[in-house]
Amino acid sequence: METLRQSIIHDYFANNNLPDGPVTKKVSSYFGENVFDLKKAREFLSDEAFKSLVSSIRSQTKIDRKMGDQIASALKNWAETKGVTHYTHWFQPLTGATAEKHDSFFTLKGDRTAIEEFDGATLIQQEPDASSFPSGGLRATFEARGYTAWDPSSPPFIIEMRNGKTLCIPTIFVSYTGESLDAKTPLLRSKVALEKAAVDVCQYFDKNITSVIPTLGWEQEYFVIDASIASTRPDLLMTGRTVFGHAPAKGQQLEDHYFGAIPERVYAFMRDFEEEAYKLGIPLKTRHNEVAPCQFECAPIYEEVNLAVDHNILLMDLMTRVAKNHKLRVLLHEKPFAKVNGSGKHNNWSLATNTGVNLLAPGKTPKTNLMFLAFFVNTIKAVNDNSDLLRASIASAGNDHRLGGNEAPPAIISIFIGQYLTDVLSEIEKRVSDKFDEQDEAMLKLDIHKSIPELLLDNTDRNRTSPFAFTGNKFEFRAVGASANCAVPMTVLNTIMADTLVNFKSQVDALIEAGEKKEIAILHVVQKFIIESKSILFEGDGYSDAWEKEAEKRRLGNIKTTPLALDLMVSEKAEQLYSRHHIFSKNELEARHEVLLENYIKKIQIESRIIGEMSGTYILPAAIKYQNVLIKNIKGLKELGIDENGISAQKQILLKISEHVNAINKNVKLMIEARKKANIIENSRERALAYCDQIKPFFDNIRYHADKLELIVDDQFWQLPKYREILSLR
């Protein structure tokens, strides 16, 4: 009899009737058609309302009730031309997913006449029944009030499902008492802090700079597998990763997948989700295969950070949804397959001014180069002083698999800047002396000016093993996990940069006050920052053991697990930094910490349960069935009078299976015991640590024996699709 696995694999290889992607159209002809952008606002709004909208976007101020009514009604009119019947406040609760609660425009008037209505009050604020979103205790559940409030800086958009369209209004999510309960609120706060600090520093160089915004271009890695095959793996369905599975004979050793031709089925899927993305104004630019089989990447043109974050979250939803139409499944987990590369999400970050300057791009004149140097060195100093906060910002159960393994940036935060800039910095360190004379000044400036642009041409020595790398005109934070909300690390990066710039400015101002020339004062503080943050710079192989040792000497943090990494976000120092810049109050910070710990515990708990269940219902039964075959065979051979010699192989296999069966059985029992103990621990940090140190170690142990069995047991008894089948998408 064919097993479910076998029949699915049969169908899979027999069936080539797969949906096509969309017909090719010029992207510019429909880009952003489902977004209420300023162009559409202009068309649908009165002058007055349009001005009010624009000014509230620019200055992040509230829109008054009257204008709100006008904007709401225009939004509804626009949405109705597109066949929209419902609207929702779209927000990013701390669960990591997005949330929506759909309401109809439809309502009844006093005389029961049916009309469609959408007013300012409903646009601006809603009170979703939020009792089950995590709040880390900020919002006692009996008092289920949380508010979503419109964020005009991210434009409303329409989500099209097969059976209807919904107007989505990006919102923040806060508690009754105004504490943030989402990922977006702190991000917006960090933008405000950074803008103020950056503009203040820019004023040294250019009085016309009155606004600075952080920009983000993310690179999203993901796996795509066949949906039917995925449906027969309870682990993939429940946890997003495989908890069992032996590495295939041919994995990624040949690296023939990287930048190879994209498989036909995946290509159709990509075209399809790209089209949906373009309609939503997500400016996707590149797509390609990644290193691992069935692994891919896409990246957009960078945008202002808040919009870029929304677009990434939207895209993850979109990919997951569109994949279903193609009978595919997208895996955004950081480590879906053991011994196969995991997935990350590089966050390319920079700062853009209202004058059109990228502050992290080397300039063309001595003056702009000094501005570049100041921002460049401030970033290095920010990361050096706050690498603990960056580490905490990327901590998750999924990302632990990457940061610990030898394929992704290590858990040690360091910065790569390339040979040329390393030389420039050491030059400044040596050259700028206390008695800085005019000649030095001229020469130093000239040197920098002449040579920095060459760096842009020199992309050859890019170091792929660095968690934080300068790549010519931006920094790239590479340790972010594939499933993460970029808002979290971006909030940290913006905040620590703001803090460092404030510090920078106060030191420069002090020197100027003491009589130093502005440029020289700036160079002196730049020099000081270089000296203070030298130990974070590392150009070598971040995957090597030598680096771990060296990093320890340099006293750089190397925390490999989530519960401990999360400690860093609630340190005394973190608390002060966040409250100084009005990002998180102490309460908010602790609540967030609590939510993240609970989230970690739940993830590990679910994995542990799945491992126990699959051991008992898939792995052991397959092994025992095969043992029965062997027993029958041995008995038969004996009946025929075959001697010990003739049955020794069968016996050996039989015993080997017993060994693994016993080990699995014993360890699953012990794991369950450990879980019982952990579950009664009151304190969530202690409980998270118990899950990490007492329960998780069983995973690898049980898996080791199960994966051995996979190689021994008769293939026809093995119910779980094997790696070679899961990763064979064409």
Site for ligand ADP, rule CB under 6 A = 215-217, 219, 299-302, 348-350, 358, 471, 473-474
Q: What angle do CA 254, 259, 264 make, to 5 degrees?
A: 100
Q: By CB under 5 A, what part of segment 444-483 binds Mg ion?
A: none
In one-letter notation, the amino acid at residue 337 is: F
Could you say which of ligand ADP, Mg ion, none residue 299 binds, taking C-beta under 5 to 8 angstroms by partner kind?
Answer: ligand ADP
For residues 219 and 310, which CB has a smaller minimum distance to ligand ADP in the complex? 219
| Dist. CA 707–CA 712, nearest whole Å | 9
Candidate segments 160-168, 206-214, 338-346, 544-552, binder of Mg ion by CB under 5 A: 338-346
Q: What CA dihedral angle connects 595, 597, 599 and 603, to 10 degrees?
A: 180
Site for Mg ion in 356-415 (CB under 5 A): none
Q: Of 63 and 360, which CB lies nearer to Mg ion in the complex structure?
A: 360
Name residue, tokens 């063309």.
364
The amino acid occupying position 206 is D
In the complex, minimum distance from the CB of residue 408 to ligand ADP, in angstroms, rounded to a whole number: 15
Nearest approach in angstroms of CB 285 to ligand ADP is 7
Task: Compare residues 474 and 505 and give the one whose CB is closer to Mg ion.
Answer: 474
Q: Give me the least distance between CB of 328 and Mg ion, in Å please.
A: 25
- Is residue 346 a contact residue for Mg ion (CB under 5 A)? yes
Least Å distance between CB 154 and ligand ADP? 17
Nearer CB in complex with ligand ADP: 31/717: 31
Inter-residue contact 297 to 344 (CB < 8 Å): no
What 3 state SS string does 89-133 have?
EEECECCCCCECCEEECEEECCCCCEEECCCHHHHHEECCECCCC
Q: Environment class of residue 220 by beta-carbon count within 10 Å: exposed (0-12), middle (13-18) or buried (19+)?
A: buried
Q: Is the dihedral of CA 73, 75, 78, 82 positive or negative?
A: negative
Integer Cα distance of 725 and 247 in angstroms: 11
Residues facing residue 103 across a β-bridge? 87
Q: How many residues bind Mg ion (CB under 5 A)?
A: 1
Shortest Cβ 349–ligand ADP spacing (Å): 6
If we measure between CA atoms, which residue out of 271, 204, 319, 300 comes closest to residue 23? 271
56 or 306: CB nearest ligand ADP: 306
Considering beta carbons, is residue 100 or 290 the nearer one to Mg ion?
Answer: 290
156, 75 contact by CB (below 8 A): yes
Shortest spacing between CB 488 and Mg ion, in angstroms: 19
Looking only at residues 687 through 726 of this chain, which bind Mg ion when binding is defined by CB under 5 A? none
Inter-residue contact 485 to 366 (CB < 8 Å): no
Residue 389 CB neighbour total at 10 angstroms: 24
The SS3 call for residue 157 is strand
Our CB check for ligand ADP shows the closer of 542 and 612 to be 542
Which value, to the nearest 10 degrees, does the dihedral of the CA atoms of residues 270, 272, 273, 279 take?
Answer: 140
User: In this chain, which residue has its C-beta nearest to ligand ADP?
Assistant: 217
- Picked from Mg ion, ligand ADP, none, the partner binding residue 215 (CB below 5 to 8 A depending on kind) is ligand ADP
Closest CB 50 distance from ligand ADP, rounded Å: 29
Of 8-16, 42-50, 52-60, 339-347: span binding Mg ion (CB under 5 A):
339-347
> Which residue's CB is nearer to ligand ADP, number 3 or number 473?
473
Identity of the residue, 91 or 475, whose beta carbon is nearer to ligand ADP in the bound complex: 475
Quickly tell me which residue has 């009050």 as its tokens: 121
Cα 579 to the center of its chain, rounded Å: 25
* Residue 524 contact, options Mg ion, ligand ADP, none, Cβ 5-8 Å cut-off depending on partner type: none
How far apart, in whole angstroms, are the C-alpha atoms of residue 363 and residue 453?
8
Q: Which does 245 bind (CB under 5 to 8 A by kind): ligand ADP, Mg ion, none?
A: none
Q: Considering the complex, what minimum distance in angstroms separates the CB of residue 415 from ligand ADP?
A: 16
Q: How many CA atoms lie within 13 A of 640 on its CB side?
A: 9
In the list Mg ion, ligand ADP, none, the entry touching 376 (Cβ below 5 to 8 angstroms by class) is none
**Which of ligand ADP, Mg ion, none does 134 bind, CB closer than 5 to 8 A by kind?**
none
